[in-house]
Amino acid sequence: MASFQTLPGFREFYPEDLARRNHIFRLWRQTAGTFGFAEYDAPVLEPLELYKAKSGDEIEAQLFSFTDKGGREVALRPEMTPTVCRLVGAKANALKRPIKWFSIGEFYRYERMQKGRGRCFFQFNADIFGEPGPEAEIELIGLLVQCLCSFGLTAEDFYVRLSDRNLWFYYLEALGLDEARIRAVLGAVDKYEKYGDDAFKGYTEAHGPLAPELKAKILAFLQVKSLAALEQTLAALGGEKLTARLADWKKLLGALEAMGLAKFVAVDLGVVRGLAYYTGFVFEAFDRKGELRALAGGGRYDDLVQKLGGPALPAVGFAIGDMTFALLLEQRGLMPTMVQAPDVYCVIGGEAERLAAFGDIQALRAAGFRVDYPMKEVAFGKQFKTAAESGAKLALIYGGDELAKGVVKIRDLTDRSEREVPRAQVAAQVRDFFSAS
Ligand code: HAM
């Protein structure tokens, strides 16, 4: 039966798995609502062109792409950012500002599978359009932190590494590098944590060896871990661009501190992000123990809306992936056991009693109660066992004796107390029980 298995890296969600996933989505959605973000959705299949040269070589190499029956080159979406740029770009003038949008959806990347990485995964994306200053980053980092904290995670469990591609550009410019060399250095910085000195191979191949004093300055910048250290490093260089950028950093970090979030945020210039479109502040969330791959990533991408045919519109956003996030919740014991218990279980004597029960079952369900009952005639004893195991709070007992008296027996499955109520009052009694408990 091997041919009927799922494709490698694709996931099936049995009811317990889906309950956990829904729990995560529910809290993300709720949190986005408290920050005033509006939900949108978009197609999973897109023109291949949308990602070519927009998302970057790494993602392009991971695309699930094919030619459809109409001869179109298409791809399953590997990320939401180009799509949301198209949506916003098409109606930019009509949309109420600030444009704060979120979505939850599935994405596809043909990646090497490892812990927390699959070929299909869900992301919560949140983005703000039309805001050029760090006010957008403040709002988004606040949202990112709260999306994780709403599950009970704390600053001891995760943190957000904050960096800045602009700062890198201005710094390397001040050190005398041209744009091509700056981009090559940033490529090396992106890989430095993983590959050490080997990360500079690409630079050396394209531009020749990196002067030792220059490399030392790059590595020193990578060591900057606080605003004070940043100010100190930049003081020697001066310059208008660097000074203005430092003011943005102060505004952003000052606001996050005022929100009580300083403990979640670490200055870390080692993060530059692999995606091609980022232009300013960039950030990634990680577990504190450093055992898992990134929980979330994002940053500013001020040119992408225009590159995709829309107006010039600054933008910032991030995405949290569901896989590493679920692993972290499980590791910390914060993934609740999802029980899909009925409120009421009906214990039914025989076929005649079943017909009597159906009226109440339908009425109770219409009133919003979760009601279950045995589909076939089963011995009373077994039904009581099922009722107890189901997690229901109440059992309604439709026996021949009860019905002959015109009553139904209600058993409280927690304290096992029982009482008889007239049949016409069953729904009202159940409602009273649940509104009291
Ligand atoms: P990204 O860093 O590529 O950014 O992905 C964001 C998150 O999605 C990652 O931190 C990770 O949790 C999850 N993720 C990515 N690839 C996989 C995979 N193969 N398996 C499991 N999880 C994965 C973006 O996608 C940007 N578009 C985010 C963004 C939104 N930037 C601006 N707005």
101-122 pLDDT per residue, tens: 999 999 999 999 899 999 999 9
Report if pTM > 0.75: yes
* Ligand 1 touching residue 121 (CB < 6 A): yes
Pairing state of beta strands 158-164 and 99-108? unpaired
Question: Hey, is 298 helix, strand or coil?
Answer: strand
Q: According to the 3-state scheme, what is the secondary structure of 344-362?
A: EEEEECCHHHHHHHHHHHH
Query: Average pLDDT of 242-248?
Result: 94
Per the CB < 8 A criterion, the answer to whether 384 and 347 are in contact is: yes
Whether residue 82 has its Cβ less than 6 Å from ligand 1: no
pLDDT, tens digit, for every residue of 301-328?
A: 999 999 999 999 999 999 999 999 999 9
pLDDT at residue number 433: 96
CA distance 124 to 143: 11
Yes or no: say if 39 and 32 are a contact pair by the CB < 8 Å rule: yes
Q: What is the pLDDT of residues 143-162, one digit of tens each?
A: 999 999 999 999 999 999 99
Which pLDDT score is estimated for 2? 55
> For the residues 179-194, what does the mean pLDDT come to?
92
Spatial separation of the C-alpha atoms in residues 363 and 350, rounded to whole Å: 20
Average pLDDT over residues 178-194: 92
What one-character-per-residue DSSP string does 367-405 give? TT--EE--SS---HHHHHHHHHHHT-SEEEEE-HHHHHT
The rounded Cα 383 to chain-centroid distance in angstroms is 41
Is 431 touching ligand 1 by the criterion CB < 6 Å? no
- Higher-confidence residue of 219 and 60: namely 219
Q: How many CA atoms lie within 13 A of 346 on its CB side?
A: 30
Above pLDDT 70, what percent of the chain?
A: 99
Q: What pLDDT score was predicted for residue 250?
A: 97
Check if 295 has its Cβ closer than 6 Å to any atom of ligand 1: yes
pLDDT at position 341: 94
Rounded Cα–Cα distance for residues 415 and 136 (Å): 54
Residue 284 alpha carbon, nearest atom of ligand 1: 10
Q: Within 13 Å of residue 199, how many CA atoms lie on the same side as its CB?
A: 18
**What angle separates helix 15-34 from helix 135-149, to the nearest 10 degrees?**
140
CA nearest to 304, candidates 145, 81, 91: 81
**Are the beta carbons of 427 and 364 closer than 8 angstroms?**
yes
Give pLDDT, residue 235: 86
Domains in the chain, CATH or no CATH each: 1-157+288-340 (3.30.930.10), 161-265 (no CATH), 344-436 (3.40.50.800)
By the 8 A CB rule, do 424 and 409 touch? no
**Closest Cα to atom 15, ligand 1: which residue?**
321
